[in-house]
Structure 1
Amino acid sequence: MSTFQRARHWLQAHPLALDAALAAAVLACVVVASFTDPHGPHGPEWFTRVPHVSSLVLTSIGGLALVFRRRAPMVVLGATGLVATVELVTGDPRAPVAMCAVVALYTVAASTDRPTTWRVGLFTMTVLTAAAMLSGPLPWYAQENIGIFGWTGMAAAAGDAVRSRRAFVDAMRERAERAERTREEEARRRVAEERLRIARDLHDVVAHHIALVNVQAGVAAHVMDRRPDQAKEALAHVREASRSALNELRATVGLLRQSGDPEAPTEPAPGLDRLDELADTFRHAGLPVAVLRSPEAGGAGPLGGEEPGAARLPAAADLAAYRIIQEALTNVRKHAGPGAAAEVSVIQVGTRLEVTVLDNGTGPGGAPDHGEPTGSGEGGGHGLLGMRERVSALGGSCTAGPRYGGGFRVHAILPVTAGAHPAPAPAGGGA
């Protein structure tokens, strides 16, 4: 840092010292001008006249008052204006004490608002100019009198311009800081939403596959000694479920990778095209699942297979519908009790996709119970709450609760207006 920059920072940190230096400079200029005759035969003549002692005293008072110009600008303007008026009325030869009032007027204009600047500036210009024109040996149209009018007007205008520029710079800085804060808040909000979405996917994947692994492992342990073939089949289902869980976990966690990381996931997110595969995993675990899907809902009809002219759903709605069915069937398998069966229906009505999962279970204790709250989601697990949050994020609705006569019902409505278009018909036809 150069010497000039260090001095500048020091003066900014000590404004009173800067004002004292300015006051000393103004006082020196006024004193030198007091000894100068501007009307000499050959132009201005330096040190050819001697001002009165009273003029030097008034000059000293005006210069000393400028030291406190930023602490009390209006008081300093009043003091310098008073001594300048006294000097204009009594001084002969006249000393330019009015320059102290000019500096004080600039300070007032730079530190107040525009209406105050107009009022104070006009009052100061009027008083000083009138005192100069109506008193003293010079005629009213003398250049010294006109100069007082011009200097006071320029001081007020310059102070107002400086104040306006400072206000503009402060506003721009505040706007930039606010924009930066807004960008940071938006980035944090998006990160939080993405973390919540990934957490929901992880919950759905882990809850579904671990429930299946637990059931199949229990079956294998139960029939290991008496029916080893059935135990091997159950263990095969355990291995398949665990492999599927690892693949989906790898794909979900892979979303957190950076763009340059290796082994980025290439498998698309699951959707309703894998609904039959999802139902088969629960059927292998001992839960009968009936699937009904309308041709407009995208994918297969009641008998399976791709329907010609079916509409492809938007990716977000497709994934949400799959995860809702997965979570609902997982809850049925865990909480509906032995002998329960589930029905899944996916129907598109206009621009809405309706997903319904029903079961006839009575729960472990003989009463309908899915182990999770049916209301707001407080005080229980996170599965139903995660369903509602998924649907709410897409602008839909989700209800879940016991059925009349026994069992449980999950019903979700998803908007599917964006991105839907007819899928091409397969060459070989459906099943």
Structure 2
Amino acid sequence: MNERPLLLVGRLRRGHWVALDVVMAVALCSLLVGGALVTGRPMSVPYLLGMYAPLAARRLWPVPVLVAVCAVAASSVAMGVVPTEPFPVGDIPDAIRSLAWPQPMAVTIALYTVATSVRRGPAVLYLLGAGTALSVAALLARPAEEAAGAVVICWLLFVTQWVTGLVVRERRLFMTRLAVRTARQAVLEERLRIARDLHDSVAHSMSVITVQATVAGHLAEERPEEARSALAQIEQTGRAAQAEMRRMLGLLRHDETDADAGAPRDAPGLAALPDLAADAAAAGVEVALEVDPGLRLDNGAGLTVYRLVQEGLTNVAKHAAPTRCLVAVTSAADGIRVRIADEGPPPGQRRAEPTSAGGHGIAGMRERVGLYGGTLTAGPTPAGFEVLARLPLEGR
């Protein structure tokens, strides 16, 4: 579920933030200039505008804005033009009253922006430069014993806001890197899924084509009609494989997946199992297909069952044909069960090769079932070989 951004922060673009900075700068300029005029200090108005007007562009040019604000602030402090207490603050110690100075306020805002925009090394130099400029100006304008407390308070203010800006910048960088890693992981997972589907589809089709080509080669001269039938089956299987490859590769160009099931909307499912049985029959495997008539699966689960049966029949055709095989898809109390059991090769004939040697068929099947939290067992039986998978599906 997607979380809605709080206070529309996630929807504000750079132009919106710059507009807000302009509003802030105008508001602060109006407030401070009005206070200076009310208190009878019109000479400080140009300096106040010089410190706060540049803040409108602080996101566009953070370093030039900091330099300009520091220059005006330091000169105003050194010349004593801008008042150090523009508003009456009562009997408060001078060091604490320095927090109400217009100069530290403007420099703090500019420093925060630099800390969020510039690399850590240069940002440290800008912090030291800004703090030193204001400190020197304060020491020149007042006796050292009077200015020392104000300088310490200003440095604490500058460092605190600079650290806050640095934390914000590091968090932004972390979130950006996290988004990049998440996107790359999603791409890798999608590639693995497509590669797994391609493996299952191509392996099944190539097994059928290889068997039919062998049959056609043996019967080409003695029984040409059966050879032509085998060639026709090769053509049909090849066209079907091409269509499925185009469908899966099309996922790389279009959004054709089911958001809930994580599978293409037109992905093969239970309804396509008879086609697999027909292909296996053409490869010499007599399939007895049993599917619960009331069983309904979503796209993801249906595709998983389809791929399990496809890979199982491909292995039977490769290692035990000609033989008979039972494919049963049933609904049980603990989920969906898929059973693929063959009777082994004809008497006196061994399997073409060990099922565990080479390839990734059983491992791929186990991985598919594991995505749903299910289990898969595969191994020889007294009659042949059996694959049993359990999918603990909900809402079936």
User: Which residue of the other structure, out of 319, 322, 327, is the alignment partner of 1:335?
Assistant: 319
Does residue 388 of structure 2 align to residue 388 of structure 1? Answer: no
Equivalent residue for 1:324? Answer: 308
Equivalent residue for 1:348? Answer: 331
| Counterparts of 2:265 and 2:236, CA distance in 1 | 17
Equivalent residue for 2:387? Answer: 410
| Counterparts of 1:257 and 1:397, CA distance in 2 | 33
Structure-to-structure mapping, 1:372-387, within 5 angstroms = 372-373=355-356, 380-387=358-365
Give the superposition deviation at 1:407: 1.7
Stretches of structure 2 that go unaligned for 5 or more consecutive residues are 1-53, 81-126, 257-263
Stretches of structure 1 that go unaligned for 5 or more consecutive residues are 31-68, 81-95, 102-127, 129-147, 261-265, 296-306, 374-378, 421-431
Equivalent residue for 1:245? Answer: 241
Equivalent residue for 2:261? Answer: none
What root-mean-square deviation, in Å, do the aligned CA atoms of Structure 1 and Structure 2 show?
3.8
Equivalent residue for 1:158? Answer: 154
Equivalent residue for 2:379? Answer: 401
Does residue 337 of structure 2 align to residue 360 of structure 1? Answer: no
8 A Cα contact 1:211 1:334, kept in partner: yes
Cα distance change of structure 1 residues 160 and 276 upon mapping to structure 2, 3 Å threshold: same
Give the superposition deviation at 1:372: 4.0
Q: Which has the larger radius of gyration?
A: 1
| Counterparts of 2:304 and 2:149, CA distance in 1 | 72
| Counterparts of 1:371 and 1:249, CA distance in 2 | 29
AA matched with 1:354 = R
Give the superposition deviation at 1:246: 1.0
8 A Cα contact 1:204 1:327, kept in partner: yes
| Counterparts of 2:246 and 2:172, CA distance in 1 | 41
8 A Cα contact 2:319 2:355, kept in partner: no
Give the superposition deviation at 1:233: 1.1
Give the superposition deviation at 1:284: 2.1
3-state SS of 1:256 partner: coil
Between the two proteins, the alignment pairs up a number of residues equal to 277
Give the superposition deviation at 1:359: 1.3
Give the superposition deviation at 1:339: 3.8
Query: Could you state the TM-score of these two structures normalised by the residue count of structure 2?
Result: 0.61
| Counterparts of 2:369 and 2:191, CA distance in 1 | 17
Give the superposition deviation at 1:275: 1.0
Equivalent residue for 2:163? Answer: 167
| Counterparts of 1:168 and 1:246, CA distance in 2 | 58
Cα distance change of structure 1 residues 364 and 170 upon mapping to structure 2, 3 Å threshold: farther
Structure-to-structure mapping, 1:154-233, within 5 angstroms = 154-233=150-229
AA matched with 1:219 = V
Cα distance change of structure 1 residues 160 and 223 upon mapping to structure 2, 3 Å threshold: same
Give the superposition deviation at 1:332: 0.7
After superposition, give the CA deviation of every residue in 1:147-178 in whole Å (9 maximum; x if it has no partner): x2xx4333222221111111111111111111
Give the superposition deviation at 1:281: 1.4
After superposition, give the CA deviation of every residue in 1:55-78 in whole Å (9 maximum; x if it has no partner): xxxxxxxxxxxxxx969x9xxx9x
Give the superposition deviation at 1:350: 2.5
| Counterparts of 1:100 and 1:216, CA distance in 2 | 102
Equivalent residue for 2:274? Answer: 276
| Counterparts of 1:348 and 1:287, CA distance in 2 | 25
Q: Percent identity?
A: 38
| Counterparts of 1:252 and 1:371, CA distance in 2 | 30
AA matched with 1:273 = A
8 A Cα contact 1:331 1:370, kept in partner: no
Query: Could you state the TM-score of these two structures normalised by the residue count of structure 1?
Result: 0.56
| Counterparts of 1:282 and 1:99, CA distance in 2 | 96
8 A Cα contact 1:372 1:382, kept in partner: no
